[in-house]
């Protein structure tokens, strides 16, 4: 076997174990979610079994990551193709889609269930729900958004957002650090 290929295959097990632990899952819970036995999952994570697509696809789906994040495919040179996710506490994940300091930042986020804790800070946020249900608390208001729904708010008002239930929610998150607000144009071109 080619040395580069062996190195890629050897890295899959530890990556699978880290994803599972970051989400706070036991092997038994992941087995129930994927239909893959605890024994096979354990052998994959320890490197005692070589991964196949039949095993990796349901694992990528369960962890809500792209298949190449499990396999660590070589980068092509375009950072937009190989985004670097940041795992956060409680199994949440943040993927920066822009890198413009001081300007509007765009993220894709997968938020795991957690207790609400209101925060305030300078800025303005827009949230677009991709999958799941998003609970948004802004001051006294408490709403649930479904896929395709959008919210925007001033972040100086106490706020919190996360999954509305026990399942993770996937969102696009735009943050304007200086209170930047979107300019919405509809219909024909306007001068």
pLDDT > 60? residue 24: yes
CATH number, domain 86-176: 2.60.120.10
Rounded average pLDDT over 11-25: 85
Distance separating alpha carbons of residues 7 and 2, to the nearest angstrom: 9
Q: List pLDDT tens digits, range 102-151.
A: 678 888 999 999 899 999 998 899 999 999 999 999 999 999 999 999 99
Superfamily of domain 3-71: lambda repressor-like DNA-binding domains (1.10.260.40)
Give the residue extent of every domain in the chain: 3-71, 86-176
Phi/psi class of residue 106: alpha, beta or left (left: φ > 0; alpha: ψ in -120 to 50)? Answer: beta
Q: In Å, what is the CA distance from 187 to each residue of 103, 128, 152, 190? A: 27, 21, 21, 8
Q: What pTM did the predictor assign?
A: 0.54
Distance separating alpha carbons of residues 94 and 114, to the nearest angstrom: 15
Q: List pLDDT tens digits, range 39-74.
A: 999 999 998 998 888 999 999 888 888 777 788 755
């Amino acid at each position: 076997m080619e040395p580069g290929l062996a190195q890629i295959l050897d890295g899959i097990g530890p990556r699978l174990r880290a994803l599972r632990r970051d989400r706070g899952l036991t092997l038994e819970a992941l087995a129930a979610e994927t239909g893959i036995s605890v024994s096979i999952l354990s052998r994959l994570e320890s490197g005692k079994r070589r991964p196949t697509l039949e095993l990796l696809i349901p694992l990528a789906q369960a962890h809500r990551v792209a298949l190449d994040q499990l396999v660590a495919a070589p980068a092509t040179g375009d950072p937009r193709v190989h985004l670097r996710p940041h795992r956060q506490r409680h199994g949440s994940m943040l993927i920066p889609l822009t890198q413009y300091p001081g300007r509007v930042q765009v993220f894709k986020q997968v938020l795991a269930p957690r207790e609400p804790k209101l925060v305030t800070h300078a800025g303005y946020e827009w949230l677009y729900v991709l999958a799941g249900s998003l609970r948004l608390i802004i001051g006294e208001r408490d709403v649930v958004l479904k896929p395709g729904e959008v919210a925007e708010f001033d972040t100086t008002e106490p706020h919190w957002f996360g999954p509305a239930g026990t399942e993770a929610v996937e969102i696009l998150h735009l943050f304007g650090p200086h209170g930047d607000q979107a300019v919405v144009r509809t219909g024909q071109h306007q001068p």
